[in-house]
Amino acid sequence: PQKFEPDVALGRSTIVEQEKIIVEDLLLCMLGIEGKFIKTPSLSLTDKQAERSFHIDRSLDPTLRDLARRMLPLCSSHSLIVRFIEERIQFKYGLVNHALAGALRGVLERFYVFVGQLETQQNLGNLTLQTLWFHTEPVMHIMEVVAIIVRTINKGNNIGRSVLDLLHEQTQNSSGYKQTYDTCYYLAKSAFKPYLTMLETWIYKGIIHDPYNEFMVTENKDVQKENLENDFNDKYWGKRYVLNRNNTPRLLESMSEMILNTGKYLNAIRESGIDDKTKTMEELKYTTKEKDLEEPLEKAYQYASQILLNLVLNEYHLLERFKTLKHYFLIDQGDYIVQFMDIAEDELNKSASIINAEKIDALLVVALGTSIDPYKDDLRIKLFNYDLISMLEKVITIDRVSGGGGNSSLSSSSSSVSLYAQGDFASTPKTSDPIEIKLSGLESFSLDYDVKWPISLIINRFVLVRYQMLFRYLFYVKHIERLLCNVWRFHKNGRKLTTRQQQKTTSSTTARKTNVGDAAAYLRHKMLHFVQNLLYYMSFEVIEPHWHTFQTNLKKVTNIDELLKYHFLFLDNCLRDCMLTNGHLLRLIHKLMAICVLFANTMMKVDEPIPFSSTTTTKTNLPTSEESLFAMIYNFNSNFTNQLTALLDAISREDGGVHGQEHRLTNIIHRINFNNQYHFHGGM
């Protein structure tokens, strides 16, 4: 600052003259120029946003000085605003700040007009300090409010959404005093304009035009729809367009999900190559009332979701594809599965690592040859390198970690994002399995379904994993049923259960022979009964009713998200009611199955010549005498009964519980224990 040198020794001027000078000075100050009496220290170069203070020379008459001092805040405000505009007009601050700076410039222009009017008054000789104060006071008040806004923005170094929030809040808070309200409203409207333009482009065209990253929806260009088939989770739908909470102004917060979905649907439609031109774009205007904005947003949302839904249902035959999935993954008609098991049995019995995947694929194609389903060509096979139990455990563990609670339901899509947040699910099992069991082909086999956009939005990996789990389970149970049926055939063909020594004995021991045969037959029958009833339960009492509910729900669906929700619900219900989500029950069932398998394999090998091929995995010591055979069967029987009782017990306890829905599980008990042969704690 220059040294404080008044041009004239003011103390010597008269009050009248002093008044004239101070009035002139004030007018200059309001324009940001130092006057004769009023000086200001220069601001530091680093802190551009500091307050500018003004000092009045002491030689001024004290009364004048006091009155003048009251008007100084106006000058500070002006200075602050000018510097703000200069700063914020730069590109890096984003569109909102630019617009705000422009609006502030408009405010300043009106201010300059005001000053010009004052000058005119001054030239006419009508401007005393008092009249100056009279005119200035209201203006000062408004400018002060604006300066507060500017100060707050500077302090937080705010960009984009925070600026909008601030302005919005200020507008709402000033609704009492009309003039400040008008100014704030004007500022807010201007600042919101670029943001609302971006919003319009998004909800009417699905395009984001956001050069400075201020919009609430960010596009992740890395996620392409071509990778969708390889994506293990619903990354595309979930991650391509993401809601950025930091960029969501409070005004739009309640509608942010809807806004996101509108644009997503439009994009999905556009990606399918359909060009939609029949829309009228309604302009969005800033308003202090949220409800006013809600209406056009709602309309746009409804429109977009309707189109996408129609597209998916009608052009791409989504409903028929659901039927296909049910047909093949949930084995609702047995035609292909029996044929496939027959021809692929040999190959699948081998260890999973040496199976030739293409061969199985070719065999599947042969088995599917007789089906008339139009969408069966997209079926593929998949060989997992971990078995069903590990798969389920993984899914359930992750779900529990993500806070799914005891409910272990896997429905909502938000939990799906956290489900796969822990990395790629399909590639390698987690390091907590060092077990490395050698899986046979049967244990690792599953189907897969290949779909293109936009069906891949709905039949995505997330959904397919659940279908695959159900399929593997059903397949396994069916396999066991087959084994037991083979045992039945084996017995039926007159090969009575005897050992080699046995064949040489006389008929006196026939009575005992029959005992062994009978015992084996009885056990086989029990096992078969259990397995078949389990299968019937799953097919008829779980899958069919849930499917029916699903179909009914589909009839009244209005947008894609609801469709996805109902689909997940269907699968979740099926998984839950087939006991796949309950680790304890599942383990019990698995043990039962293992017993059945062991029994069946043993029965098939009892009567074979002793040097059988050593490449089979079961190495049972075959009984060489009748007693040991009998004992073995007895063991099997008691094991089986115990396990089954435990299972039924567990089921009856289980169902007390959480869901309160239909007590489906107890139906298993009714089926299996129809004649009360198993006595367990919770049994009737």
Partner 1 sequence: GGGELVLLRRDDETKILKELLFGLQGIETRYINGNNGNNGNETTTTTTLDRSTKALVNRFLECGWLYEKIRRIINSPTTGLVSQAFVANLSSELREYHRLLGNVFDPTGPVSLKKLHVWLSTPMQRLKSIASISELCQGGALLSLLYTHQQHGDPLQQSTVYPLLYNCTVPIRDMIVEWICNGIINDPYQEFFVSVDKKIDDEKLWYEKYSLRTSMIPSFLTEEQAEKIWITGKSINFLRVLCKDRTVLQVVDTPASPETLFQQQSSTEFHDMIISAYNETTRHLRQILDEKYHMMDHFKAIKRYLLLGQGDFIKYLMDLMEVELNKPANQVFYHNLQSLMDSAIRVTNAQFEKEDIIKRLDLRLMCVSASELGWDVCCLDYKLDGPLKTIFTEDNTLRFMRIFNHLWRVKRMEYTTCGVWKQLIKNSRRFSSIPEIIDLMHTCFGISNEMTRFVQSVNYYIMFEVLECSWSDLLSKLKDAKDLQQILEANNESLEKIIVRLLLDADEKSQDLAKQLRCIFDLILNFDTLTQKLFLTVDNELDARLNYQQRQYNDQDAELRRFHHVFKPALKTIKSEIQILKKTFRDAVLKFLQQLKTHPDVTLRCLSFRLNFNEFYKVS
Interface with partner 1 by CB under 8 A: which residues?
2, 7-8, 13-14, 16-18, 20-21, 24-25, 27-28, 31, 33-36, 89, 91, 94-102, 105, 108-109, 112-113, 115-116, 119-120, 123, 190, 193-194, 201, 205, 207, 209, 211, 277, 356, 358-359, 362
* 8 A C-beta contact, residue 151 and residue 163: no
Q: Which is nearer to partner 1, 96 or 132 (CB)?
A: 96
- Which residues make beta-bridge pairs with 383? 445
DSSP 446: E
In the complex, the smallest distance separating the C-beta of residue 202 from partner 1, rounded to whole angstroms, is 10
Q: CB-wise, 122 or 532, nearer to partner 1? A: 122
Smallest separation, CB 100 to partner 1 (Å): 8
Q: Among all chains, which residue has been given the structure tokens 């020794």?
A: 9
Using DSSP's 3-state secondary structure scheme, residue 379 falls into strand
Task: State the greatest distance between any 2 C-alpha atoms of the chain, in Å, as a whole number.
Answer: 150
Cis peptide before 194 (omega within 30 of 0): no
Distance CA 580, CA 567 (A): 18
Nearer CB in complex with partner 1: 167/459: 167
Closest to partner 1 by CB, 91 vs 674, is 91
Q: What's the rounded Cα separation, in Å, for the pair 39 and 44?
A: 16
Nearer to partner 1, 115 or 596 (CB): 115
Residues forming beta bridges with residue 39, ordered by sequence position:
55
Closest approach of partner 1 to the CB of residue 329, in Å: 24
CB of 31 to partner 1, least distance (A): 6
- Phi/psi region, residue 430 (left: phi>0; alpha: psi -120 to 50; beta: rest), is beta
* 6, HSE (Cβ side, Cα atoms, 13 Å): 18
Residue 229: CB minimum distance to partner 1, A: 16
Residue 166, number of CB atoms within 10 A of its CB: 22
Q: By C-beta, is 85 or 484 nearer to partner 1? A: 85
DSSP class of residue 226?
A: G
Q: Which is nearer to partner 1, 221 or 291 (CB)?
A: 221
Closest CA to 325 of 560, 540, 567: 567
Least distance from C-beta 155 to partner 1, angstroms?
21
Q: Which of 648, 473, 480, 645 is nearest to 576 (CA)?
A: 473
Nearer to partner 1, 277 or 492 (CB): 277
Q: How far is the CB of 356 from partner 1 (least distance, A)?
A: 5
Nearer to partner 1, 357 or 597 (CB): 357
Q: How many residues does the chain have?
A: 684
Q: Which helix (H) or strand (E) holds 56?
A: strand 55-56
* SS (HEC) of 384-397: CCCCHHHHHHHHHH
| Min separation Cβ 22 and partner 1, Å | 11
Is residue 661 exposed (0-12), middle (13-18) or buried (19+ Cβ within 10 Å)? Answer: exposed
Residues 6+ apart with CB under 8 A from 516: 497, 498, 626, 629, 630, 633
Residue 196 or 268 with smaller CB distance to partner 1? 196
CB of 9 to partner 1, least distance (A): 11
Q: Which residue has the tokens 């309640």?
A: 254
Query: Least distance to partner 1 from the beta carbon of 261, Å?
Result: 20
